Structure 1
Amino acid sequence: NKEGPRILGGFARPAEKSAAELAQLLAHHALVVDMRPAAEFAAGAVPGTISVPMNASFTTWMGWLVPYDQDFYLIGDAAAVDLAVRDLAMIGLDRVGGWFAPEVVTQWAAAERAPLSVIPQIGALDLSESLKHGGVTLVDVRNPGEWAASHINGARHIPLGHLGRRLDEIPRDKPIVMQCAAGARSMIGASLLKARGIDRVINLTGGFGAWASAGLPTVQ
């Protein structure tokens, strides 16, 4: 950029990077956060990236999940990146090493000749049947108050903010279904598992709300 970095309210947008640079960064285990909507991430994402959509909860989950002492990178359009850089700096996350436009996802797949990572979805009724037959492990990533109020019998409770440090508590012998209240936090959690090399991960569409609305049993 011959004009230098754009300044937004005193915060400079970092340099845009290419698909080749993304591949190199991921090969060195860099932290890359995809800010696209969760449904787009679920349909196809670059393996090794994590999903934290740009919405009202963005800085909350970035503050929980991103180390403050290392560089990280963002995938999103320029406007989203500008907002993210500003908002993250205000909570002390100021080590954005660069950003990638959303098109980098398909560019990476074409350049690497590799499939994108996909997170399948499951409905409440299908999950109920799978749990009856012991076919899946269910992980509830809601906060302790939500869990105490009501939860699905047999679920393991690991709040999303602690998930990265407690992966060893999750069995790997069967597919893992991630669940929250409505399906948003669980998608972030599912992306964390996928980025750590746990491939058989599924998201519960609609979360606990969909389960309860279907009249399925809960416990306290």
Structure 2
Amino acid sequence: MYLRRFYDEGLAHASYLVGCQETGEACVIDPARDVEPYLLTAKREGLRIVAALETHIHADFVSGARELADRAGAAICVSDEGPPEWKSEYVHAYPHRLLKDGDELHFGNVRLVVMHTPGHTPEHVSYLLYDGKTSPDVPMALFSGDFVFVGDVGRPDLLERVAGERGSSEALARQMFRSLRKFEALPDHVQVLLAGQPEAPVYFARMKQVNKNGPRLLAELGAPERAKLSPERLRAWRESGVVLDVRPADAFAKRHLAGSLNIPWNKSFVTWAGWLLPAERPIHLLAADAIAPDVIRALRSIGIDDVVDWAHPAAVERAAPDDVASYANVSPDEVRGALAQQDLWLLDVRNVDEWAGGHLPQAHHIPLSKLAAHIHDVPRDGSVYVYCRTGGRTAIAASLLRAHGVGDVRNMVGGYEAWRGKGFPIEA
């Protein structure tokens, strides 16, 4: 048996290629939208991907099941459990199989048994793995999707919080309890193969619909144009869509296109892009040549498909003086001095639990995930100082504030941890 795990750190998403080396048949469980790694690995190992299996209708990434059906001829295998509104609608255009509790899938000597495990979502299924050659009657692992993790279980409240399904939290919690009883009956040696999940951004609700209806094929999207930017076209970018600059915060702070949004290219990029980028507006990307394809691929992994063009950030140097902006980076000592003179409006963009654990005196609290919705609560006159835990989120917050017309934005370098490390006062 062949088994390989693929992990996307930005999405906290795990997927698996499972196959029989004797017959060459293989499947991918919970595939990502970029299916190239599975196809390359399968070819190298002498395997044919004949099926794409889903544990549930995903909310945190665009599924690659349709891509595998289109590019490899794979059959799409999805849950047929749960109410009608939780059925995948696009699969009927492809070879497919609708799965019920107890159904079996065979790939050579590999056998997968379907377990209906509702709780995270009503239709959720898990797959018990059997090696038909070495231990045909003893399960060796469970592909648990978002049902159960090491030391944790999938959240039953996301449908109510994100998709607005009132009253679903309690019903799914009860289903989760029954599913865990079923899980408890498995042998102790069964390994849990899991796909982790980050905090739920607002794009989760949209992802459910995309994966239910079927995402657009990547071949249909094509490659965004590499633009040659004149000062005039840079100005047109600002007026025609969202300008996304993925440079490190320091470079962006010194000089950037006025109105642009800075989400630095790092492991948190996808999460914040999902929170803050509107799906209905075209994206103009500023990124170095070496990373632009990866950035576009990451955005498409969460259904942000309308990156219409991109250019190297050096183009900002050619922008007219009236079309560029900057913001200041300041130390905790400078912030303390300004607080003593009460010459600032101080903004904490950390999460609710972080704020409750302690914050700077006189601070106002708006989590970064909600800042765009509450941007009018921030004054336009005077200086606005912003901080987070260590400084990563404030780069995004500062760009968002500047883009919405806050003229004097100052980012406290090192954030709350640097302030606390100096022994400066904290309020609870």
| Aligned 8 A contact 1:48 1:195 in 2 | yes
**Alpha-carbon offset, residue 198 of structure 1:** 1.2
Partners of 1:85 and 1:120 in 2: CA distance? 29
Counterpart residue identity of residue 208, structure 1: Y
| Aligned 8 A contact 1:8 1:86 in 2 | no
Moved more, 33-42 or 13-22: 13-22
RMSD of aligned C-alpha atoms? Answer: 1.8
Deviations, residues 96-129 of structure 1 (Å, cap 9, x unaligned): 1110112111122xxx244731111111111011
Tell me, yes or no, if structure 1 residue 210 matches structure 2 residue 409.
Answer: no
Partners of 1:136 and 1:22 in 2: CA distance? 33
In structure 2, the partner of 1:33 is 244
Deviations, residues 46-96 of structure 1 (Å, cap 9, x unaligned): 111111111001011100000112211110112321111111111111111
In structure 2, the partner of 1:150 is 358
Higher Rg of the two aligned structures: 2
Once superposed, which parts of structure 1, at least 4 consecutive aligned residues long, lie more than 4 Å away? Answer: 7-12
| Aligned 8 A contact 1:13 1:81 in 2 | no
Aligned to 1:105, which of 316, 322, 338? 316
SS at match of 2:244: strand
SS at match of 2:310: strand
Aligned to 2:348, which of 117, 125, 140? 140
Partners of 1:196 and 1:19 in 2: CA distance? 24
In structure 2, the partner of 1:4 is none
In structure 2, the partner of 1:61 is 272
Partners of 1:25 and 1:80 in 2: CA distance? 20
Q: Which has the higher helix share?
A: 1
In structure 2, the partner of 1:118 is 326
SS at match of 1:79: coil
**Alpha-carbon offset, residue 8 of structure 1:** 10
**Alpha-carbon offset, residue 143 of structure 1:** 0.8
SS at match of 1:78: coil
Counterpart residue identity of residue 15, structure 1: E
In structure 2, the partner of 1:18 is 228
Partners of 1:68 and 1:24 in 2: CA distance? 20
| Aligned 8 A contact 2:243 2:260 in 1 | yes
Tell me, yes or no, if structure 1 residue 94 matches structure 2 residue 305.
Answer: yes
Relative contact order: is structure 1 or structure 2 higher (C-alpha 8 Å, sep ≥ 6)? 1
SS at match of 1:48: coil
| Aligned 8 A contact 1:8 1:82 in 2 | no
**Alpha-carbon offset, residue 192 of structure 1:** 0.7
SS at match of 2:270: helix
Counterpart mapping for 1:169-188 below 5 A: 169-188=377-396
Counterpart residue identity of residue 33, structure 1: L
Q: 1:140 to 1:113 in 2, by over 3 A?
A: closer
What's the TM-score once normalised by structure 1's chain length? 0.90
Structure 1 residue runs of 5 or longer lacking an equivalent are: 1-6
Tell me, yes or no, if structure 1 residue 167 matches structure 2 residue 375.
Answer: yes
Partners of 2:282 and 2:313 in 1: CA distance? 20
Deviations, residues 141-164 of structure 1 (Å, cap 9, x unaligned): 011111111111211110111111
In structure 2, the partner of 1:75 is 286
Partners of 2:347 and 2:328 in 1: CA distance? 15
| Aligned 8 A contact 1:153 1:219 in 2 | yes
Q: How many residues align?
A: 210
Q: Percent of pairs identical after alignment?
A: 32
Structure 2 residue runs of 5 or longer lacking an equivalent are: 1-33, 37-217
Partners of 2:391 and 2:360 in 1: CA distance? 14
